[in-house]
Chains A and B, each alone.
Chain A
Amino acid sequence: MHDATISQLAQKLKNRTISSKELTEYFLTRISRLDPSLNSFITVSQEEALAQAKAADARLASGDVTPLTGIPIAHKDIFCTKGVKTSCGSRILDNFVSPYDATAVAKLKAAGAVMLGKTNMDEFAMGSSNETSFYGPVHNPWDTDRVPGGSSGGSAAAVAARLVSGATGTDTGGSIRQPAALTGITGLKPTYGRISRYGMVAFASSLDQAGTLTRTAEDAALMLQIMAGADERDSTSLPESVPDFSRAQRSIWENITIGVPDNFFDDSLETQNAQLIREALSVFEKLGARIKDIHLEHIRLSVPAYYVVASAEASSNLSRFDGVRFGHRAKHFEDLAEFYMRTRGEGFGSEVKRRILTGTYVLSAGYYDAYYLQAQKVRQLISQDFARAFETVDLIAGPTTPTPAFRIGQKTDDPIQMYLNDIYTIGAPLAGLPALSIPCGFVKNLPVGLQLIGPHLSEEKLLKAGFYYQQETDWHNHVPPGYEA
């Protein structure tokens, strides 16, 4: 049962061969049995889940269903969930119970999805290994000594270990695609603005985008269908209408041209990873795709541009955590400045502090033009490179990460090494582009991901390419040892 995809479970629920209550109880038991080895959940919302399952069963009986009705899912703990703790992986929000639902959460709730709980994540989504969480690191189900990636590491580990059928995530510099790659699942970061950011704790507002972590591209389409769309409450959500992703995905294959940037096959890419990416490209060639070499001139500057823009926006966004209206408050202080400084000093972990200080530095008087403005110009150049490439190719393909999952603790002492792990994923959010990571093989029993990047609003194309690839391959069906039963 746990190995079924959302699409398969939806069929069983619709046929009434299983009830949402049975499914929910089954997965809750599985979480309590297996999650101690992973630490993928911060909160398991058993009571709410059972109530939602009961409501879903009533809907299923009445025939008023969506593909998500009765399906157990989990939300990254960055999404506000009414009446359920929303910590964002931080001590400063350890006592925060959200008074409202994020739009993405509300939409999935309205569709009848059952929320099993909130998944672990890097603190404020700042990290690539899930080691910066106040609640401890998440372990990769493929090797529990290794990281699952981050920042949506809890969602990725939970889906990979079959503790839940699908999960939400957010991607600012790679936080959906990188953990999806390192845990052998499918991760979709839609176009900037495709899904409302309302109720998503803000990290870097010009980059943050909600998305999905699922077993297959087929399931990603099902979740995106519900989550996408304009929202009055997020003025940056896109007004464009939402196409039928599942239908587009199943439409007849048309020969496309896939661009492969030489920059994505640099020294940091491990040989065996490179080999698997080339094999994945040959699968597309067999499907009839044309592979074309391309060059993205400014992509090498994406890591520095990202760390300026993201840190600057984070330093501004995180100023709201002041210990006055919600969240942690320091007990001992002399004056107002110390009240703020100690509250925030105690509430934030070291990576978050580093980003706030970096952001404050690049925004401070005399440095703004040299850093923030220059980074936004470089971002424009990176975006123009992509736009030029998409004049001759339909999609861009390459690795999601340079290496398979690394060991817990291996990179914690060197932030730069950690940042460079996002070298292939950072370009897409800088340009606001949608991107997908799909499993494409294993190196020493550790999963590797293929990344596909499309033009703005090309989720249909991306999901179709992912769907067809997964008809030809079975990498997405591999289960981590120890989590088969």
Chain B
Amino acid sequence: MLLNREDVEKLCLLSRLEITPEEMDDVSAKLSDIVNMVNQLQDAETSGVLPMAHPLDQSQRMRKDKVTETDNQEQYQQNAPLVERGLYLVPKVIE
């Protein structure tokens, strides 16, 4: 297999994604299949080819730097898991 358990565990940490121990073998096997499939790209002759940045070769438009959005804090926080006095509550992040 192209990706072993350790590789997948590292990817999980980088992605902040929990995979249960029971899922681990299946995930490693399927990820290895996918990486094997995308490895076909390595054979393509691409020297001198510019990587695509936009399918229609457009560049990013700029807009005027002015305020367009109004304050919707209360409405937005209705979707929040935990809010107190208008603040999003999160677990303790400083040891």
Contacts and interface: CB of A to CB of B under 8 A. Distances in A.
A325 B53 CA distance: 31
A16 B8 CA distance: 62
B1 interface: no
Nearest to A382: B52
B15 A206 contact: no
B34 A341 contact: no
A344 B16 contact: yes
A381 B39 CA distance: 17
A27 to B, nearest CB: 29
B15 A376 contact: no
A353 interface: yes
A375 B68 CA distance: 37
B41 interface: yes
Interface in B23-58: 23, 27, 30-31, 33-35, 37-42, 44, 46, 49-56, 58
Interface stretch (A95-103, A261-269, A402-410, A458-466): A95-103
Contacts of A415: 30, 33-34
Given A326-B80, A358-B31, A456-B56, A344 B18 contact: yes
A298 interface: yes
Chain B binding surface SS class: loop
B40 A337 contact: no
A12 to B, nearest CB: 38
A485 interface: no
A26 interface: no
Given A235-B63, A239-B61, A341 B17 contact: yes
User: Interface extent on B, as a size class?
Assistant: 35 or more
Contact of A377 (B30, B50, B88): B50
Contacts of B88: 324-325
A456 B56 CA distance: 8
B40 A304 contact: yes
A353 B27 CA distance: 9
Interface in A317-358: 319, 322-329, 333, 335-342, 344-346, 348, 350, 353-354, 356-358
Given A193-B56, A304-B41, A376-B51, A364 B14 contact: yes
A96 B78 CA distance: 9
Given A324-B88, A357-B8, A374 B41 contact: yes
A206 B11 CA distance: 23
A307 B76 CA distance: 34
A308 B27 CA distance: 17
Contacts of A377: 44, 46, 49-52
Most B C-beta atoms less than 10 A away, residue of A191, A307, A319, A377: A377
A469 interface: no
A232 interface: yes
7 contacts: A236-B54, A341-B12, A341-B13, A344-B17, A381-B44, A383-B52, A430-B55
Interface of A: 95-97, 99, 191-193, 206, 232, 235-236, 238-239, 298, 301, 303-305, 307-308, 315, 319, 322-329, 333, 335-342, 344-346, 348, 350, 353-354, 356-358, 360-362, 364, 370-371, 373-381, 383, 415-416, 419, 430-433, 456
What are the 7 A-B residue pairs with the smallest beta carbon separation, nearest first?
Answer: A432-B55, A345-B18, A376-B51, A329-B81, A326-B79, A340-B16, A377-B46
Given A206-B55, A329-B81, A353-B17, 19 more contacts: A99-B76, A193-B58, A232-B68, A235-B61, A239-B61, A307-B38, A327-B79, A327-B81, A336-B93, A344-B15, A344-B18, A354-B30, A354-B31, A356-B15, A356-B17, A360-B14, A364-B14, A416-B37, A433-B55
